[in-house]
Structure 1
């Protein structure tokens, strides 16, 4: 796995885990908005004008749609979590965030809840995931969380009450053990 620009401080971030765990956390002195700004800056470099989004074989218009989707999602970093929320003004739950981003960036309507979103589009093998794919998480075989894949093993999501929209890792930390599947939505 390649490192994100900005070095190891952005890897293994467990700030989105339900309980605080020792090690691998960003400095306590940094506020959430500082961390979000740092991460957004680093991700913006990844999404710069020369980024191919891992889909160099796609037409430029399609790459542009994916870039627009990711920029819209990353622009919401730091928005508070709110159960049932589906707008920047009221906050987001996980499916509210994903639905809002797809609707406003691409005009694509998705089902309201993660369990129903997990029936949308084509199942994608984890090794074949690319930017813009939906990633689903759950327990006991039941989907209960969704995010948008950013590439490089990272995804953006609204994790839980008390946390803001953030970027997390699929490969380490709390969410790595909850991953269930990925899906590619038609139209992106």
Structure 2
């Protein structure tokens, strides 16, 4: 009995370590969305270039990296695979401005963008460069994988 109680206590204690980061306030989320929209205006149309980190060409994870660095002063992982292991996973119905949205675009290829609101996200598209898309688009809806909050 005592052993069972100790095991249950340990499980409860460890599960508390996996809790989600706090939800951003509506005001903070709206302010971040405005900043992201301004960042979009600055980068809009910049062509996609694998490994790129400038207005001559940028890839999706570099765009996310630079947005976090410039807007929030936070240094996050540089690659999609590293960003995928950052923060806490959240459900699609809990998305707030600034959350990362990930897509499986091929057998081994992944794509990342930054959620805005109303199913819209900001990203560096391979075909159209930096742009805003919607999660409801048939392509992105099929490719959506998971979301993370940093």
> Into which bin does the TM-score normalised by the smaller protein fall?
0.7 to 0.9
Shift of the alpha carbon at 1:71?
A: 2.4
Shift of the alpha carbon at 1:91?
A: 1.5
Corresponding residue of 2:147: 182
| TM-score normalized by the length of structure 2 | 0.74
Measured at CA, do residues 149 and 143 of structure 1 come closer, stay the same or move farther in structure 2, by a change above 3 Å? Answer: farther
Measured at CA, do residues 63 and 170 of structure 1 come closer, stay the same or move farther in structure 2, by a change above 3 Å? Answer: closer
Once residues 103 and 65 of structure 1 are traced to their aligned partners in structure 2, the CA distance between those partners, rounded to angstroms, is 13
Q: 2:102·2:144 contact (CA, 8 Å) conserved in 1? A: yes
Once residues 26 and 93 of structure 2 are traced to their aligned partners in structure 1, the CA distance between those partners, rounded to angstroms, is 22
Aligned alpha-carbon RMSD (Å): 2.4
Q: 2:46·2:58 contact (CA, 8 Å) conserved in 1? A: yes
Once residues 62 and 150 of structure 1 are traced to their aligned partners in structure 2, the CA distance between those partners, rounded to angstroms, is 9
Once residues 59 and 164 of structure 1 are traced to their aligned partners in structure 2, the CA distance between those partners, rounded to angstroms, is 29
Shift of the alpha carbon at 1:158?
A: 0.9
Which ranges of structure 2 fall in alignment gaps of 5 or more residues? Answer: 1-22
Point out the structure with the larger helix share: 2
Measured at CA, do residues 133 and 143 of structure 1 come closer, stay the same or move farther in structure 2, by a change above 3 Å? Answer: farther
| TM-score normalized by the length of structure 1 | 0.60
- The answer on 1:138 being equivalent to 2:104 is yes
The secondary structure found in structure 1 opposite 2:50 is coil
Once residues 147 and 112 of structure 2 are traced to their aligned partners in structure 1, the CA distance between those partners, rounded to angstroms, is 9
Once residues 148 and 131 of structure 1 are traced to their aligned partners in structure 2, the CA distance between those partners, rounded to angstroms, is 7
Once residues 62 and 168 of structure 1 are traced to their aligned partners in structure 2, the CA distance between those partners, rounded to angstroms, is 19
Q: What per-residue deviation string (whole Å, max 9, x for no partner) do you get for residues 127-159 of structure 1? A: 010111110011578561100111111111111
Q: 1:115·1:143 contact (CA, 8 Å) conserved in 2? A: no
**How many matched pairs?**
128
Question: Based on CA coordinates, which of the two structures has the bigger radius of gyration?
Answer: 2
